[in-house]
Chains A and B, each alone.
Chain A
Amino acid sequence: MSEELVDIRLTVNDVVHALRVPARRLLSDALRHDLGLTGTHVGCEHGVCGACTVLVDGRPMRSCLMFAVSAVDTEITTVEGLAEDDGSPEGRLGPVQQAFVECHGLQCGFCTPGFLTTITAGLKHNPEPTEDEAREMIAGNLCRCTGYANIVRSVLRAAEIASERP
């Protein structure tokens, strides 16, 4: 009674991966357990907490609410893909990541990848958010540690950093 496996290709952070998964494999599990990209975290598996948020064709989506087999034909970006190439092995932190350091936007770090992806896309859409818009941008992600104040500051700071960088 072995389960049928599906051959798929997932494009993640500009790398194409071939993998064989059961149809029911959640995208979050495929990223984490099949590809080893553990930066994407799983906090609730019912789409409420936002920790698993990745960019699908540039748009934030819950990877726990998608099946890996349904994510073919898309370009996926995870937190591991947010650093900027500056010639160093790790790359330099992207503007949102850098802002989180400066503003103490994270504590335990578990929800953080979902915020980073969400804000990265949000600032592409709205590069100069007001404070209210910054709050709206992160309104669908849960954080139990920070109380959000420093995350809102991080959004505003990230907009500044992005505008300062060429």
Chain B
Amino acid sequence: MKPAPFAYVRPQGLQHALEALAADPGAKVLAGGQSLVPLLSMRLAAPSTLVDINALPDLDGIRVDDTGIHVGALARHADVLASADVRRVQPLVTLALSHVAHATIRNRGTTVGSIVHADAAAEMPMVLALLGGSVTVASTSGTRTIPASGLFAGPLESTLRHDEIALEAFFPGLGAGEGVGFEEVARRHGDYALVGAGAVVRVEGEAVVAAEVGFLSASDVPVVVDVTDPLGGVVSTSSTDRAGELALQHLDPAEDLHATAAYRRQLVRVLTTRVLGAAYDDALGRARGEA
């Protein structure tokens, strides 16, 4: 299990990195490498050039403002997870990050890298989708911002072009009256989830006025379902059951080694109920000033 040979560049500036990437159609970007390196070692991927962006300046920032969180391409999961600003501005990001692999992987892996790796079993693509965030990417022809809704094309496939480097992910902050929940069921602690779900619920008084649930490992891309209607303003056993049934209409859970499709559907139902309950309680708690 050793990687095939590749050419290696370690640019000190973005322009150089973009040029190196553009110069070789077989090139790939190396950031944290926690997903890429195993693929290389198993020779399931064999890029002709690796563009190592770890020496690029100014990409490791985590910045919050009135609108939300800006996470730079070299910000490690562990730093994002540890950030008090992040927890305050968008607690769903913190909640979900604690489920990303194990601490040692989070020390090296990057949040932006995980997003553009576009694994439907990973937490951060789903969180970006659920929050309606975006990714800013650069190429030699300029930069553009891709909304989460247009980012995930298929299994392990994003809409980044080959010559683009993701510079930053943006997660919108928690809105007024909103609360969040996140839970997943995995075979072992730290494994990819069999199914995971996150929820954002907005309340006015005690009434639910908006609710969305995002799912991972329940389709071949992260899926977000608006469940405001089936909830009918309340979070109750029957309303969340209806939300789960609606969600299942948008999902296509697969059977694999670890779970049957029927079991995954069951987890969708259970987790829908659990995360909506948690998000609702969170919203009420915040409204009362507890959080």
Contacts and interface: CB of A to CB of B under 8 A. Distances in A.
A6 B104 CA distance: 27
Contact of B103 (A6, A45, A60): A60
A64 to B, nearest CB: 7
Chain A contact residues (Cβ within 8 angstroms of B): what range? 20 to 34
Counting chain B CB atoms within 10 Å of each CB, the highest count among A22, A45, A65 belongs to A65
B61 interface: no
A70 B107 contact: no
A56 B34 CA distance: 15
B101 A22 contact: no
A65 B37 contact: yes
A24 B38 contact: no
B250 interface: no
A1 to B, nearest CB: 9
B37 A47 contact: yes
A4 B6 CA distance: 9
Contacts of A136: 103
Chain B contact residues (Cβ within 8 angstroms of A): what range? 20 to 34
Interface in B1-16: 1-8, 10
Contacts of B41: 26, 45-46, 64
A126 to B, nearest CB: 11
Counting chain B CB atoms within 10 Å of each CB, the highest count among A50, A67, A137 belongs to A67
Interface in B91-124: 101-105, 107-108
Nearest to A24: B3
Interface in A6-58: 6, 22-24, 26, 29, 45-47, 50, 53, 56
Interface in A108-166: 118, 136-137, 139-141
Interface of A: 3-4, 6, 22-24, 26, 29, 45-47, 50, 53, 56, 59-62, 64-67, 69-70, 73, 118, 136-137, 139-141
